[in-house]
A = this chain, B = another copy of it.
Amino acid sequence: MRPTTKDLAKAAGVSLATVDRVLNGRSGVRQKTVDAVNEAITRIGFERNQVAATLARQRGYRFGFVVPRSGDEFLSVIIKHISEFDQASRAEMIQTKIVRIDEHDPHRAARTLSRLSASEYDGIAIMAPETPQIRDALYRMRERGIQTVAIVSNQQEEDGQSFVGIDNVAAGATAGRLMARFLGTQSGDILVLAETMQSRDSLERRLGFDRIMSPGYPQFHALPTLETHGYPERTKLVLENAFAAHPDIVGLYIMGSEARLAIECARKLNPDKKLITIAHERTPSTEQALRDNTLDALINQDPGHIVRSAIRTLRAKCENRETLASQERIRIEILISENL
């Protein structure tokens, strides 16, 4: 049988309460006692039983997912996975709620975050673009004792363990390599589309894309990124202009997560020639596009994995232990119609 807190208390010559204090880093214990307990821990090989610990806390774990109020198909897929997980994990004493923020108004968003209290949440996973206000709000949240983790869009580099998502530079590079290989012996211009180049995700993807394209494939010319701002009319307009100005377009790289529109437009504007088209994020519509061959490849980050990984990360932080790094690394998936 594995040693328990009782064994540990006996081995260290203290009471259960003191063992608990040391184990959970609470104050009010003499350094000498702390040392004695720690010594006993290694001596008898004590390891805390998380199952018992979770049960003993009156409440289970309460986590919140902060997501944009308005969003694209990818967001709804994420949300679907959150509620799916919530249902499945109630028996494990994990509760998950969704908190909406106004991503266009950083101050309002920050205010919403500031209202999240430690008495309601043990941890928060946030999916939001990086702004000073948000970063600040997160910092204060951690001070209040709420664990945080960023998902999908990275918030900052400083804290290595607290981002769950893909490396967007590598994702862009992956798209670039596939584009080049699928184009084969052709040559010409490549259209690059984003909702906005303000976002770090798009910048990084573009960077990665160019890093492959520019040095390795002089026969292709990736045009400056076109911004759609998520508006259908604007998407149509920029694509029209682009096709008019560049008669030699052979490829289309859609960096944003709303690919449906762009694919449709491009097909209408260019019905005779088959463009190699690569987009990001698996959603019902990109999946359909892959199936009917209007899309050649999809770069995806598994939303279910992201959600579960975020929760595992938060939980590990609550119990202040390490996570299994290999498990939490989100893969840059390449999807074609055969491996959907």
A residues lining the B interface (CB < 8 Å): 2, 47-52, 54-55, 60, 81, 84-85, 88, 90-93, 170-171, 173-174, 176-178, 181-182, 184-185, 208, 212, 296, 302, 304, 308, 321, 324, 326-327, 331-339
- A95–B174 Cα distance when bound, in Å, is 38
- A92–B52 Cα distance when bound, in Å, is 9
- A88–B327 Cα distance when bound, in Å, is 11
A337 surroundings in chain B (CB, below 8 A): 177
- A67–B183 Cα distance when bound, in Å, is 43
Given A170-B338, A178-B336, A302-B331, output 6 extra A-B contacts at Cβ < 8 Å. Answer: A51-B91, A88-B324, A173-B339, A174-B338, A185-B185, A334-B335
Pairwise interchain contact B336-A177, C-beta atoms closer than 8 A: yes
Tell whether A50 pairs with B327 under 8 Å between CB atoms, given A173-B338, A174-B336: no
User: Would you mind naming 28 contact pairs between A and B with Cβ atoms under 8 Å apart?
Assistant: A49-B55, A51-B51, A51-B54, A51-B55, A51-B60, A52-B55, A81-B326, A84-B326, A91-B321, A170-B338, A173-B338, A174-B336, A174-B338, A176-B338, A177-B336, A177-B337, A177-B338, A178-B336, A181-B181, A181-B182, A184-B185, A185-B185, A302-B331, A304-B327, A332-B339, A333-B339, A334-B334, A334-B339
Pairwise interchain contact B324-A84, C-beta atoms closer than 8 A: yes
Tell whether A331 pairs with B339 under 8 Å between CB atoms, given A51-B51, A54-B51: yes
